[in-house]
Every structure is written in C-alpha cells, then in structure tokens.
Amino acid sequence: MTQPVVVAIIGGGFSGTAIAYHLAAQTQRIDVEIVVIEPRERLGGGLAYSSKDPAHRINVPAAKMTMVSAEPDHFTRWLANDVASAEDVLARTAKGDEFPQRSIFGRYIRDHIEPYLETGRIRHERAAALSVTSVGERYSIALTGDNNVGADIVVVATTHPLPSIPNALRPLIGSPRFIADPYAEDALHKIEQDHAVLVVGT
C-alpha cells in the first residue's frame, strides 16, 4: 500500500493555515498527510491576527480580504453572520467600508480550519521548527521539545521577525515611556490623551 505524501507546513499564521486549508480541501487523506508546525495554541492568527487589542484593525477594507481567492466575498459573507462583528460600531466607516478588529479576521481563519483539525485531516504540531535536514529523498524537521517530523514536502510559511530597534533608540530600552512593540497586549494603554507621541516608522 502506497504511503501518503507528508506535507509539513512551518508556520501556522494566515499563509500557512490557508495553504493547509486549500490542500485539505483539494486532496484525500489517503494521498496527502498535512502537518502544520506552529507553537501558538491556535492556527490562523499568527503575528498579524492574534492581537487581542480592539484598536488593532485590518488595514484594508474587509471586502478586499479573503482566504479563498475564487470567492472575493468569502470573508464578508462570514462577517455578516458574526454576532461580535455586528456589535462593533467602530468597524464601519461613513463610506460603508468595514475595518474589523484583527482578532476577528483570525477567528474567521480558525472557523474554517477547525473542522479539518477536528477530523484529523490536518494535524497541528504545537512546537517551533529548529532546523530542516535532507535525509535521502525526504526531510527531517527538528522541533522544540526534542521531537521531529518527517516530511516529503516542506513549506516555509514563517512570519517576518519583530522589527529591530534602531541604534539611535536603543538607549531607551527599558524605559516605561518607550514602546518597542505596539502589537503587544496593552502596549498602547499607557498612553494618555494629553501625551505627545513620536512614531518612528510608517
């Protein structure tokens, strides 16, 4: 009996999860085994869509976002039936465009991947990948926790690293008035309305 091709996807943010979703939808379990290597508890959020801060919103209108390119309204249809989104009065602009919270888009991704996780069609390996080694015609992926995953195909879908602090600002590291990562939970809550704020970057 022919063994299934093992596809290991390193990174379970939007890109890695979307790849797993489409691969699961277009193949059979007997042919392809899908493993997503991601240290976070849940797939889909990644760095971009795991923020719990309600002020963190998607930066393009919801109508331009989807995880199914053949269905441009895939996200907005889901959004129309989401109770939490309906209660978010700040999401809609005067022009009618919607800019939901980033965590909402992360939940949209999770809602579509979870059926595959529940059936075992996609396996979430909750660990970080340390290295990939070629072993004959296959690959061995070393993981944190002294584990490893064997794969026939490896997809690297890792995020960009957190931005480094410019040398000129490094003396400010540790200061309560310096915010190195604006996406960290509660990072912006320390800013008062009358504070003067310098934003470095775009």
User: What pLDDT shows up at residue 1?
Assistant: 60
User: What pLDDT shows up at residue 48?
Assistant: 84
Domain boundary assignment for the chain: 5-156
User: What pLDDT shows up at residue 174?
Assistant: 87
Give the strand pairing for 153-156 and 147-151: unpaired
Tens-place pLDDT, residues 22-74: 999 998 888 999 999 999 999 998 888 888 888 889 999 999 999 999 999 99
Report field, pTM of the whole predicted structure over 0.85:
no
163 to 130, 156, 160, 182, 184: CA distances (angstroms): 21, 20, 8, 11, 13
User: What pLDDT shows up at residue 133?
Assistant: 97
Which residues of the chain carry a pLDDT beneath 50? none
User: What pLDDT shows up at residue 123?
Assistant: 97
Tens-place pLDDT, residues 17-35: 999 999 999 988 889 999 9
* Fold category of 5-156 in CATH: FAD/NAD(P)-binding domain (3.50.50)
User: What pLDDT shows up at residue 200?
Assistant: 86
